[in-house]
Amino acid sequence: MSFIASECILWQASRQNPRVHIFHLAPTVQGAGLNTFKNMHCKPCEGGVCPLDEGISNQHLGQLPGWQLAADKTRITRTLRFKDFLATISFINAMAYMSEQQGHHPDFSAGYNYCEVNYTTHAIGGLSENDFICAAKINDLLEA
């Protein structure tokens, strides 16, 4: 299991003066064993934590076949192909069930024989461990 420490700056307006920002240097530790992502459960995220940086995201993606970092670096994406509409909808239903269990939901678009899945953590405006947990669970669904 490897851990990578990084730092980010969180800011918020002071209650006394909404124009003044208080800066916090917040150390973060990222990098649970990637081969265990599919066995992990998402943790609620309401903000207040830093998104993963590009290096950590790419390191995680190295062990999630088929997933790519989007150009804006705030989400991961995968396009899946299926034999027909019923197979596509069956996958979407399985993805919806898993997402409800995890409390972390993807953005997706679908058509007759494809589904494009995007994960980001909206509360932090970027990627969190939850996105990689769900991506691993999607890969696991496809192997079943």
Taking only the tens place, the pLDDT of each residue in 61-71 is 988 999 999 99
Judge whether 64 and 135 are in contact, CB under 8 Å.
yes
pLDDT of residue 42: 83
Taking only the tens place, the pLDDT of each residue in 77-90 is 999 999 999 999 99
Q: What share of the chain is helix, strand, coil (3-state, %, to 5)?
A: 35, 30, 35
Confidence of residue 21 (pLDDT cuts 50, 70, 90): very low
